[in-house]
Amino acid sequence: MSSKVTALQMSESETFSEKTQAYFDLCQEKLGLVPNVLKAYAFDDTKLRAFTDMYNDLMLADSGLTKLEREMIAVAVSSVNHCFYCLTAHGAAVRELSGDPMLGELMVMNYRVADLTDRQRAMLDFAVKLTEKPAEILESDRQALRDAGFSDRDIWDVSNVAAFFNMTNRVAAATDMRPNDEYHSMAR
Q: Is CATH 3.30.70.20 correct for 67-185?
A: no
Is the pLDDT confidence value at 32 over 50? Answer: yes
pLDDT tier at 117, thresholds 50, 70, 90: very high
Rounded to an integer, the average pLDDT of 18-42 is 93
Q: What pLDDT is recorded for position 6? A: 52
Q: What pLDDT is recorded for position 15? A: 80
Q: What pLDDT is recorded for position 2? A: 46
Distance CA 39, CA 52 (A): 11
* Residues in contact with 182: Cβ distance below 8 Å, sequence separation at least 6, in sequence order: 3, 32, 33
For the chain, the domains span 18-60, 67-185
* Residues in contact with 87: Cβ distance below 8 Å, sequence separation at least 6, in sequence order: 75, 78, 79, 108
Run of H or E including 29: helix 18-31
At the fourth CATH level, which superfamily is domain 18-60? AhpD-like (1.20.5.810)
- Over pLDDT 90: what percentage of the chain? 85
Distance CA 180, CA 150 (A): 34
What is the pTM assigned to this prediction? 0.91
Is the pLDDT confidence value at 9 over 50? Answer: no
